[in-house]
Structure 1
Amino acid sequence: MTSDNPEKWIRSVLVPRLLKSDVFQEASVLRTEVKALETMKDNFASEMYEINFLLSREGEDKNISLILKLMSEDEITRKQMQSEKQFFNEIHFYSSVKPLFSSQTSFPHLKSAFDNMFPTCIYSHYNEKEPQSFEDAVLVMKNLKVHGFQLGNRTSLDFDHFALAVQSLGRFHAFSYYLKEQDPDKFRNVIEKPIRETTYTPQNIEICNNGLKISQNRVLNALRTTHSIDNPYVTRLLKILERKTYDLLTDLVTPQEPLAVLCHGDFLRNNVLFRYEDGKPVEMKFIDFQTIRYASPAIDLSLLLCMNSTHELREKHFHELLKVYHTSLRKTLAALLGKPEGELHPCYNFETFLADFRRHAVYGYIITVMFLPVMFADPADLSELVKLSWEEQVAPENIELSLRLGGENATRALVSLTEDLIEMQYL
């Protein structure tokens, strides 16, 4: 029976289910606390709750903290975000993909390194009969916050954060190549085929073409104030704008063999958590697998490097970070295959990877142009914008709100990114 009160349902229905898991084995529950979490800034598609338990086991008290993700109660948000598909993808990742990848290696240190990159999922449920309410798509994970994990800086990351993130990404992508070599049929059946498209669907064609065009024109107009019409920055951006954005993006996410991998799909600073020692990041975990896709590894890499870097970091470390990623990938893949790196297939060499990255780097740029202003946005403007449907956001009367989002700081950051990527020949 459906409840219209999520918190009441959590206490009366979900908590008893959780108490049957191994986490609570032979323990008495002394206290349960449920509280809603504020998610507007970094998570638009889900309702988040923290559930805290005080347990007694063998005469000792222990606290256990969990994070609960439910579909948004707002029907418009669920429709816009295609929440049913997003929750299917994430639950599929934790229930099928992650266990499969983890089970592929007989080397304990590789299995441990892989498992440690993700939160521990202790419960999931998905109603295949087209989920309609918060009860129909549920994901519960251990709360990484209590172990010291937290988000990095909202608008940019430094080299130490980037290096740790791309090293982890290289390890993650290596498991795709390993499974494709060892059991391509299993890879297709478990990893590739079940994934549901959440972004590039017919309902989003006009949103992509109109919304992203508006954002790109913001950059173009800013460039024209300081550069002539025949300046390379201007002409290159005009060339990108010639194609309809939806068509370009769908081409970019179409898998191209042999380098396609399972991508996180939304690899940004708000979807990775860091643990620190003496102020430096020493460990990283991936979160939020709602938009996983099978595509070029550059889909993940370009998004992180475009959205979360500064001009100074790109100037000093962009190419170096690509090498850090690739070195981690090759080292992990060679270890999984039990062979020296020199015996890996030539398709895994740096030159081939870099050529693939150059073909796909525009993906991260296009998405960044659309969403970076949100990172710089004044909370009042952001609150006003998220009340509108996507169709309303690109309506003429609301375009000015989109264009001013994030102010001059966002515009300067986007212009700098555009100039840097063109200089480096990634656009």
Structure 2
Amino acid sequence: MSGITLEFLQNLLKDDYPDVTVQDFEGAPGTKRGDNYTSMVFRIQLKGVQKHRDPDASGETTQPWTGSIIYKCLPDSIERRKTFKSEELFCNEVAFYNKIWPALNDFQQQRKVKSPFKAIPKCYLAQDDLVILKDLKQQMFVMPDRRQGLTIEQCYFVLKNLSQFHALSLAMKHYNPEEFYELLNVQDGISEVLFTGDNEDYYKSYYREATRNAVDMVEEELAGCEDKEKYLSKFREFCSEETFFQMMVSLVTPREPLAVINHGDCWTNNFLFRYVDGDIAEMVIVDFQLVRYASPALDLAYLLYVCLTREQRTEHLPSLLEYYSEELYKRLMELSDDGSVFSGMDKDTLNELFQEEFHRSGKFGLGSALDMYPIMTCDSNEAPNLYQAKDTELVPPHESTPVSTSNAACRKKMTDLVRELVDGGVL
């Protein structure tokens, strides 16, 4: 956390806390090992005094004050940065906080939405090598356990907020196209970081190992099953080194008319919830390093196939998709000029297009699961240590490897998803 001084912190917080004088600070890791993979996250605890004006007494009084902020920065290890393409990912997040979100938020304010989308944390500063955010822990927001995934109640909350987020870019693209497409400017806008043709050679060994691990897990889990080859053959074909990466590139390529600005990394650890009397009162979405312009169904395939169990999807998937589609349409109506969604996009057409996109995006959900299931189910000591010092780095960038685990939970999740997508005609 080099460069952090009392003067820097005082200036950072002056608008939110004009009566506070920061006198001391201390930083500590803000996440556990295994909870994030491309950045270091610190929680900076602040101490100081706050002035209070007493109308019944002359002058001012001061009281002790404490606070905290979240400080997100690139890993100290240069090799670790290269391994996870941290600098490219950071540029995306900086662009989101400095350009994308302000433009989308201005758009919804111009449209005078009664209940605007606001599930984005306050950002104090975003630049090339760091992002400083409001610490939502102070407001009693909590992160779900990555190993548990999401409850159905949490999932509905996420879908409502995603629908509102997606609707902003879908409507802005229609009503203010020139301003919208400027958000995708390659100079200071967002761009696809992972699945581009230029990255195929870079990630070849990474996904060779990730797919091999996944196939081995499914093969072990299906041992003794009569229909083992039915699923394994299709999964091996999906994991083919000759086609896998280009398939993912194709899936993230924008498809009109539904392409929107995606969150891009819709897994458990990027959703924070605040509870009142045991019920969810509100939620916030964090981590916009993988934000991309693509089908909204990618966010949903990632969310529903990575964060829910097969049992949850079996019981709730149709209702969850219907809920998202209805909420998306409802928000588009609110953002419209005359109380109707733009030409050619009535409710039935919107739902039909979205259902088609979601079916197609099932392969993206499975491709994401190759990475995410081991990350969600591994022990902390199996995850890379992003906080290690520069001189202890032993992994050269050309040998980047996925998280590898073969625990029972991971084997079951992977096999359940393969079965589901084969039976559903996605594979």
TM-score range, shorter chain: 0.7 to 0.9
- Out of 5, 8, 11, the position equivalent to 2:5 is 11
- Out of 193, 200, 217, the position equivalent to 1:198 is 193
- Paired residue for 1:171? 164
SS class of match (1:104): helix
SS class of match (1:105): helix
- Paired residue for 1:149? 141
**What TM-score does the superposition give when structure 2 sets the normalisation length?**
0.85
SS class of match (1:110): coil
Asked if structure 1 preserves the Cα contact closer than 8 Å seen for 2:271 and 2:284, the reply is yes
- Paired residue for 1:361? 362
- Out of 222, 228, 236, the position equivalent to 1:238 is 236
- Paired residue for 2:174? 181
- Paired residue for 2:299? 300
- Paired residue for 1:90? 93
SS class of match (1:10): coil
Identity %: 26
- Paired residue for 1:22? 15
Shift in alpha-carbon separation, 1:383–1:124, aligned structure 2, 3 A: closer
- Return the offset for 1:299: 1.4
Shift in alpha-carbon separation, 1:36–1:424, aligned structure 2, 3 A: same
- Paired residue for 1:291? 290
What is the alpha-carbon distance in structure 2 between the residues aligned to residue 99 and residue 119 of structure 1?
Answer: 12
Asked if structure 1 preserves the Cα contact closer than 8 Å seen for 2:39 and 2:75, the reply is yes
What is the alpha-carbon distance in structure 2 between the residues aligned to residue 41 and residue 360 of structure 1?
Answer: 27
- Paired residue for 1:122? 124
- Return the offset for 1:426: 3.7
Matching residue's letter, 2:94: I
What is the alpha-carbon distance in structure 2 between the residues aligned to residue 338 and residue 356 of structure 1?
Answer: 26
Q: Deviations over 1:23-75 (max 9, x none)?
A: 23243334433333344211122122222333413235443321111111011
1:140 aligns with 2:128: no
Q: How many residues align?
A: 402
Q: How does 1:236-275 map to 2 (within 5 A)?
A: 236-242=234-240, 243-275=242-274
1:66 aligns with 2:69: yes
What is the alpha-carbon distance in structure 2 between the residues aligned to residue 338 and residue 384 of structure 1?
Answer: 50
What is the alpha-carbon distance in structure 2 between the residues aligned to residue 269 and residue 190 of structure 1?
Answer: 27
- Return the offset for 1:91: 1.3
- Paired residue for 2:328? 329
What is the alpha-carbon distance in structure 2 between the residues aligned to residue 384 and residue 99 of structure 1?
Answer: 33
What is the alpha-carbon distance in structure 2 between the residues aligned to residue 196 and residue 166 of structure 1?
Answer: 24
Asked if structure 2 preserves the Cα contact closer than 8 Å seen for 1:271 and 1:287, the reply is yes
Matching residue's letter, 1:199: L
Asked if structure 2 preserves the Cα contact closer than 8 Å seen for 1:263 and 1:293, the reply is yes
- Paired residue for 1:408? 408
Matching residue's letter, 2:419: E
Asked if structure 2 preserves the Cα contact closer than 8 Å seen for 1:376 and 1:406, the reply is no
- Return the offset for 1:14: 3.6
- Return the offset for 1:111: 7.3
What is the alpha-carbon distance in structure 1 between the residues aligned to residue 385 and residue 399 of structure 2?
Answer: 12
- Out of 142, 155, 159, the position equivalent to 1:162 is 155
- Paired residue for 1:132? none
- Out of 80, 83, 87, the position equivalent to 1:77 is 80
Asked if structure 2 preserves the Cα contact closer than 8 Å seen for 1:171 and 1:328, the reply is yes
- Return the offset for 1:239: 3.5
**What TM-score does the superposition give when structure 1 sets the normalisation length?**
0.85
- Paired residue for 1:44? 37
What is the alpha-carbon distance in structure 2 between the residues aligned to residue 299 and residue 175 of structure 1?
Answer: 17
**Unmatched segments (≥5 aa) in structure 1:** 1-5, 127-136
What is the alpha-carbon distance in structure 2 between the residues aligned to residue 353 and residue 117 of structure 1?
Answer: 23
- Paired residue for 2:57? none
Q: Deviations over 1:254-289 (max 9, x none)?
A: 111111110111111111111112223231111011
- Paired residue for 1:279? 278
Asked if structure 2 preserves the Cα contact closer than 8 Å seen for 1:262 and 1:294, the reply is yes
Q: Deviations over 1:88-139 (max 9, x none)?
A: 111111111111111113468737632x21100112223xxxxxxxxxx121
What is the alpha-carbon distance in structure 1 between the residues aligned to residue 184 and residue 139 of structure 2?
Answer: 30
Matching residue's letter, 1:417: L
- Paired residue for 1:130? none
- Return the offset for 1:383: 5.3
Asked if structure 1 preserves the Cα contact closer than 8 Å seen for 2:73 and 2:131, the reply is yes
Say which structure, 1 or 2, has more relative contact order (CA 8 Å, 6+ apart): 2
- Return the offset for 1:344: 6.0
Shift in alpha-carbon separation, 1:150–1:251, aligned structure 2, 3 A: same
What is the alpha-carbon distance in structure 2 between the residues aligned to residue 356 and residue 168 of structure 1?
Answer: 19
RMSD: 2.8
Asked if structure 2 preserves the Cα contact closer than 8 Å seen for 1:30 and 1:56, the reply is no
- Paired residue for 2:420? 420
SS class of match (1:227): coil
